[in-house]
Structure 1
Amino acid sequence: MNRMVLSAQLVERGAVRYTPAGLPACDFGLKHESQVTEAGIPRKVSLEMRAVAIGDLAQRLMKLEIGSTGTFAGFLTHQRNGRGTVLHVTEFE
């Protein structure tokens, strides 16, 4: 199963674009920082990743202020240019 849930901060947002099917799409950047336990040892985790939302969710995320935090859920795939990974957001709280 390919499902990811990430508590993150919105740190970057591109302009609205449209898919070939005419749906609105929004590319954005997310930043996550937390502490987890690995092998019984606390570890600080920090990451930034690219994300995209399509359709009604894209329009909703366009209204979100930079710096806002939330829970982003969706699936992972490669970027259009084949370099890196992108989270396709299908749910947001």
Structure 2
Amino acid sequence: MNQLRLIAAIAERDVVRYTPAGIPIVSAKLQHSSEQVEASIPRQVDMEIAAVAAGEISGRFNRAALGEMFLFTGFLARKNRNSKSLVFHVTDFESITDH
């Protein structure tokens, strides 16, 4: 199974681009910060992860507020066929910011 759920904020976002097939894609960088427990020891985790949203969700992703906290769901895949770098492909997200 390849499923990732991550609470993060959209730190940076590129403009919408389109694949040769006309599918809209938005690339972004997500910023995550949390405390995790590893080997019974608390560990501070701060990271930035490359993300993309394609198709119908790209419009909503493009309008999402920068800096707001969201719960992102999706999967990891290589950036391209020959790359070893991973990208988080966002398939859904929801706001978790208290209003």
> Using the alignment, how far apart are the partners of 1:58 and 1:83 within structure 2?
24
TM-score by length of 1: 0.94
Q: Residue 5 of structure 1 aligns to a residue in which SS?
A: strand
Structure 1 residue runs of 4+, over 2 Å off?
none
> Which blocks of at least 5 consecutive residues in structure 1 are unaligned?
none
Match of 2:93 in 1: 92
Match of 2:32 in 1: 32
How many residue pairs end up in the alignment? 93
1:30 positional shift: 0.2
Deviation readout 1:55-93 (Å, 9 max, x if unpaired): 111000111121111011111011136152100001111
> Using the alignment, how far apart are the partners of 1:5 and 1:19 within structure 2?
26
Q: Residue 60 of structure 2 aligns to a residue in which SS?
A: helix
* Equivalent position amino acid for 1:37 in 2: V
> Using the alignment, how far apart are the partners of 2:84 and 2:38 within structure 1?
28
Match of 2:20 in 1: 20
Q: Residue 61 of structure 1 aligns to a residue in which SS?
A: helix
Match of 2:83 in 1: 82
> Using the alignment, how far apart are the partners of 1:68 and 1:29 within structure 2?
13
Deviation readout 1:25-75 (Å, 9 max, x if unpaired): 100000100001111111101110100001111000111121111011111
Match of 1:10 in 2: 10
TM-score by length of 2: 0.88
> Which blocks of at least 5 consecutive residues in structure 2 are unaligned?
95-99
